Amino acid sequence: MRKLILALCLAGLAASPAFSETAPKQSQGNEMEAGKCSDILDLFVAADPGGAKDKKGLAAAQDRTYAFLMWVHGYLSGRDGIDFAKRPLNQAGITQVVNDIYKVCSVDEKRSFLEAVKDIR
């Protein structure tokens, strides 16, 4: 179910010209290094089901993206208080988180994600 929700959330963003076809940067431990906004945008591209990818690689990218989005949702809920009317934990809420990340990161892809996430309101 979570992969379906993620796929639906990312489907509209994948067509954006800001997304490239590069793979996300990974550490030797096969974990995403989400230091910069460009890393996050690359992660979204890797999780897009529209690209020609092997199923195992796509599933792994979607799992990493899902975990990342849950972290962001939790961070925002901790920072702003839990408000399910403003930031529901469902497809609409996760779609909003993806859109919010895209808005703050597409302005300056070299920016640290931990700085950019502070601009999400």
Q: Are 24 and 32 in contact (CB under 8 A)?
A: yes
Domain boundaries defined on the chain: 2-119
Report d(CA 81, CA 15) in Å as an integer: 33
Instruction: Report pTM.
Output: 0.69
Q: What is the pLDDT along the chain (121 residues), one digit of tens a residue?
A: 444 444 555 554 443 333 333 344 444 444 445 589 999 999 999 999 987 678 999 999 999 999 999 999 999 999 999 988 889 999 999 999 999 999 999 999 999 999 999 999 8
Report d(CA 13, CA 9) in Å as an integer: 8
Residues with Cβ within 8 Å of 41's Cβ and at least 6 positions away in sequence, in order, are 18, 19, 20, 102, 105, 106, 109
